[in-house]
Amino acid sequence: MSIFGSMKTAVSGMNAQANRLGTVSDNIANSSTTGYKEATTSFSSLVLPQGSGNYNSGGVETTIQYAISQQGNISYTTSTNDLAIQGSGFFVVSDAAGTPYMTRAGNFAPDSSGNLVNSAGFTLMGYSYGSGSPSVVVNGFNGLVPINVNQTGLTAVASTSGNLAGNLNSNDTAVTTAANVASANNSTATPSEKSSVVGYDSQGNAITYDVYYTKTAANTWDVAVYNHADATAGNTPFPYTPAASAFLGGGTMVFNANGQLTTTGTITPTAPLTVNPTAPQPIKIDMSGFTQLASGFTATGKVNGQAPNPVKSVTIGKDGTVSALYGDGSSKNLYRIPLATVASPDLLTLQSGNVYSANGQSGVTVTGFPQTGQFGYVQSGALEESNVDLASELTNMIEAQKSYTANSKVFQAGSELMDVLVNLQR
């Protein structure tokens, strides 16, 4: 056995315990860091080739591991911009250079531009609803934009579609004179039934659509749509003058013997814009929900679009949908926050700012929306705490200290033996 070997072994033991103390100090320092994941030191023996009758002491090696997949406790806050993930997944964030990372640190707050940025300076990324309902890029971060909650001022949305549903009374008397059908655009029209819905032009001006239903034959109904603004007060039962601009559009609904609609039931009227009367605004109205039964007339419906409204607040749902809530109680989807993960989260590469990047050992990044597949859900007004157990860390610190001292004693003993050998020549 080499005395030098034993001293080198003791040095490796001290280095290993120093590494352990390093992880303990990091864990204790970050015990209050949002989303921080505990670091641990694993030991493995280093064995040297052995000679006959001689023992060559080896040493110890250390590897650092992170409990990234272990979720911390959830604490609730008063800020709706604070986000926690319940279950699997990571937020996708970006640094100032646009490089994407993953993190569990959801302590976000709006910056000067309204983008949600966490305490480490990373911007939360998501998909915009600007071009319709977004779809996720499952194997990358393409298409992601910063989540911006600075939704100030008034917003108006033009109507493009709607629906009407109800029942047309099969016992209504048919109007057999063509000039008296509502779509003929004559003031002598005698429609069977009427309903109205409200839509909006591009500047938020309300447009009331008067929808007339005229039974023209058994199981057949004429549908005509007019702009209520063109009505003449006092004219009954049909208050419109026979002007070309009054009639907006219509169609025909045909029912079978059971009172079920057999035609498409879709009409596309156009209404002049208040801001530009010469530019018609089409709106597609789905009427497939109508039946024709021997019962009174009923009609319900709605049209999309929005009158000018201030944004009251911005909310974030469990499925990651970021929505603007307006003063009239309506809402509009703005963004959807995705989550990302890898096959081996504990092997992710840790970067400064409590963020992670994928590598060859962790596996490729998989992206998806919250509450789908393997992903958990987003909890607004909450934060994930560090998963560090202070009691365990203090225990580990004491153990590392004692082990370091014991290794130093081995080194000291070897040094004393070397002194004995050196003194033999005297």
**pLDDT tens digit string along 218-249?**
999 999 888 888 887 766 667 876 655 578 88
Residues 287 and 300: their CA atoms lie apart, in Å, by 10
Reply yes or no on whether the pLDDT at 329 is more than 90. no
Measured CA to CA, the distance from residue 346 to residue 335 in angstroms comes to 29
Residue with structure tokens 């070997």? 5
Q: How much is the pLDDT for 279?
A: 66
What are the C-alpha distances in Å from 104 to residues 4, 70, 116, 176, 296? 47, 11, 14, 70, 58
Task: Kindly tell me if the per-residue pLDDT of 328 is higher than 80.
Answer: no
356 alpha carbon, distance to own chain's centre: 20
Question: Where do runs of H (alpha helix) occur along 3-65?
Answer: 3-29
51: Cα separation from own chain's centroid: 63
User: Who wins on pLDDT, 336 or 243?
Assistant: 336
CA angle 284–238–247, rounded 5-degree value? 35
Name the residue type at position 326: Y
CA 58 to chain centre: 53
What is the CB neighbour count within 10 angstroms for residue 124? 26
Q: What is the pLDDT of residues 134-181, one digit of tens each?
A: 999 888 899 999 999 887 667 788 888 889 999 999 999 999 888 888
- Comparing 90 with 5, the larger pLDDT belongs to 90
**Bond preceding residue 237 cis, omega within 30 of 0:** yes
Using CA atoms, how far apart are residues 328 and 198, in angstroms rounded to an integer?
15
Q: Average pLDDT for residues 196-205, to the nearest whole number?
A: 86
Q: What's the mean per-residue pLDDT of the chain? A: 87
Most confident of 41-45, 107-111, 410-414: 107-111
Count Cα neighbours of 185 within 13 Å in the Cβ-side half-sphere: 13
Give the Cα-Cα-Cα angle 230, 231, 233 (nearest 5 degrees). Answer: 140
pLDDT tier at 93, thresholds 50, 70, 90: very high
Q: Confidence band (pLDDT; 50, 70, 90) for 92?
A: very high
Instruction: Tell me the C-alpha distance between 27 and 386, whole Å.
Output: 9
Question: What mean pLDDT is predicted for residues 76-83?
Answer: 94
What's the average model confidence in pLDDT over 122-126? 96
Give 255's contacts (C-beta < 8 A, 6+ positions apart): 168, 170, 219, 220, 221, 261, 262, 291, 292
Is the overall model pTM greater than 0.85, yes or no? Answer: no
Interatomic CA distance for residues 386 and 72, integer angstroms: 5
Domains observed in the chain:
3-70+387-423 (no CATH), 74-154+310-384 (no CATH), 159-304 (2.60.98.20)
What is the rounded CA–CA span in Å between residue 227 and residue 209? Answer: 5
Q: Kindly provide the b/e burial profile for residues 193-219, where b requires at least 16 CB atoms within 10 angstroms of the residue's own CB.
A: bbbebebbbbebbebebbbbbbbbeeb
Question: What pLDDT does 51 receive?
Answer: 65
Q: Residue 89's pLDDT is what? A: 95
What percent of the chain lies above the pLDDT cut of 70?
93
pLDDT at res. 307: 83
Residue 122 has what pLDDT? 96
DSSP 187: T
User: CA 48 → CA 55, 56, 57, 148, 288, distances in Å?
Assistant: 9, 6, 7, 59, 82
424 pLDDT tier (thresholds 50, 70, 90): confident
Given a cut of 70, whether residue 344 has pLDDT beyond it is: yes
- pLDDT of 117 above 90: yes
pLDDT greater than 60 at residue 272: no
| Mean pLDDT comparison of 14-18, 201-205, 382-386, highest-scoring range | 382-386
pLDDT at 273: 53
Q: 222: which 2 tokens? A: 């004429």
pLDDT value at residue 13 = 87
Average confidence (pLDDT) over 280-299:
89
Q: How many helices (H) and strands (E) does the chain have?
A: 2, 30
φ/ψ of 370, rounded to 5, equals: -55, 150
